[in-house]
Amino acid sequence: MRISQAITNTNEGPTKGDLAYACMRNQSQAHSLMLRAVRDSGLSQKELARRTGIDEATISRALSRPRNIELNTLSKLLYAASGAYLTLALFVPTQPAAGRVHPAGTGEEQSSGARTFVCTRLSSSVDAQRISASTGTGTSRVLSLSSSNALVREVADA
Amino acid sequence: MSIELAVQRLVDDKRLIHRPSSLVGISARDLFVTPEIHALAHPPFADTELGVRQAALAAYFDAYCERNEMTVSQNPRKKPWDTMLARVDLPETQFWSMRITDPEDSPGMRVLGGFCWTDGFVALTFDYREKIGTDFDGKVNEIAAAWNDYFGQIGPHRGETMDAYLTGYYEYK
């Protein structure tokens, strides 16, 4: 069974809600990267408009909240603000992160237990940190995750 | 009693749920929600317009929990319409509104609550925006009553600047 089938709630493919979740999550990641780059650059929206050729109104809309920004607009803003390029990576969950766990292909439920994630910042110097997270309702905190441009992978060994 | 202890007790009593990111299960910021709100905001999502709206709520919560950058405004009367997090009028009440404005063709949703510590938010009320209408005062009264019900005399966490409430933000002034 394909991994994607383990996390969708029908055998006919993802629902409108599932697709919307995927889109909005990705928009949120892109928005966060852009907002941070712009804020840290100290550049005004006017200066960014000058440097990118994008009008200020478009820049303002792009920064205000996550939305379906064009990749070229994102690329120009990131590069103009910080000289940065995007590194895109896939994150494919093997099972739902929260709540009950359904191993692909079995339909069985497992009780949630402690899970271990490796967090890797997507930058030129890869910096991997090991964090553990509980899927229950405890109040344990993640030790560190300070940037949204991070790839979080689940590992089998704790 | 400290607010930290109060939150812990509410979690232990299952009146609040410490909600991590739905996708990656982390809490780079802490988000505590009522069981009712939690039920609305996690996968799987239905193949309906309501499912899409609930997906938007979950994606917003995930962004908060994963410490994505957020646009914020401390002036409830002067903010861009799509600001992500804003103080609720009256500012002295220390309540905030998580403003979910997706999907774009919907009126959006509002989750009201207060901070319990820096990067820790307690979400107590939820409404689809179209049901609020212009009854903003009513929503302020509702969150105040809810906070009193959960925390008694312990008020929300407060600070002099936005840094006291949140890290990783872009503030509209």
Cα distance from B94 to chain A (closest Cα, Å)?
23
Judge whether A12 is closer than 8 Å to chain B, CB to CB: no
A112 closest CA partner among A122, A101, A125, A96: A101
One-letter amino acid at A21 equals: Y
**From CA B38, how far away is CA B16, in angstroms rounded?**
9
Q: Which of A17, A28, A119 sits opposite B46 (nearest CB)?
A: A17
Are residues A8 and B7, on separate chains, in Cβ contact within 8 Å?
Answer: no
Using CA coordinates, name the residue in chain A closest to B80: A64
Q: What is the predicted pLDDT for the residue at A96? A: 53
**According to the model, what pLDDT value does residue A119 have?**
45
Distance from CA of A121 to the nearest CA of B (A): 13
Which is nearest to B74 in space by CA: B90, B52, B55?
A: B90
- In angstroms, the CA A120 to CA A49 distance is 32
Q: At B109, is the pLDDT very low, low, confident or very high (cuts 50, 70, 90)?
A: very high
CB contact under 8 Å between A17 and B48, yes or no, is yes
Residue A60 pLDDT greater than 60, yes or no: yes
CA distances from A105 to A12, A24, A87, B1, B46 (A): 15, 27, 32, 48, 21
Is pLDDT above 50 for B58?
Answer: yes
Residues of B within 8 A of A66 (CB-CB) are 63, 102
Instruction: Kindly give, in sequence order, each residue whose CB lies less than 8 Å from that of residue B164, ignoring residues fewer than 6 positions away.
Output: B118, B157, B158
* Mean of per-residue pLDDT scores for chain B: 93
Cβ pair B47:A21 closer than 8 A = no
CB pairs under 8 A between A and B: 153
Q: How far apart are CA A155 and CA A128, in angstroms?
A: 13
Residue B170 one-letter amino acid? Y
Mean pLDDT of A69-88: 94
Would an 8 Å CB–CB cutoff place B135 in contact with chain A?
no
Dmax (CA) for chain A in angstroms is 57
Show residues of chain B in contact with A29, CB under 8 Å: 68
Number of Cβ within a 10 Å radius of residue B81: 9
The overall pTM is greater than 0.90: no
pLDDT of residue A20: 95
Interface contact B105, partner A, CB < 8 A: no
Question: Tell me: the pLDDT tens digits for B80-106?
Answer: 888 999 999 877 779 999 999 999 889
Residues of chain A contacting B59 with CB distance shorter than 8 Å:
20-21, 24-25, 28
Closest to A137 (Cβ–Cβ): which among B17, B43, B49? Answer: B17
Higher pLDDT, B98 or A67: B98
Look up residue A101 and give its DSSP letter: B
All residues of chain A having their beta carbon less than 8 Å from the beta carbon of residue B47 are: 10, 15-17
Q: In Å, how far are A51, A107, A109, A133, B160 from A100, measured between CA atoms?
A: 49, 11, 7, 15, 41
B41: tokens are: 């905001």
Q: pLDDT class for B164, splitting at 50, 70, 90?
A: very high
Show residues of chain B in contact with A38, CB under 8 Å: 170
Selected residue with higher pLDDT from A64 and A116: A64
Contact B96, B60 (CB under 8 A): no
Q: What is the pLDDT of residue A95?
A: 62
- Residue B143: its pLDDT value, please? 95
Asked if pLDDT for residue B41 goes beyond 50, the answer is yes
The pLDDT value recorded for residue A157 is 39
Q: Which residues of A touch B18 (CB under 8 A)?
A: 137-139
Q: What is the DSSP string of B77-116?
A: TS--TT-SEEEPSSGGG--EEEEE--STTS--EEEEEEEE
pLDDT at position A35: 93
Instruction: Give ipTM to 2 decimals.
Output: 0.92
| Cβ separation A117–B46 shorter than 8 A | no
Averaged pLDDT for residues A42-61 = 95
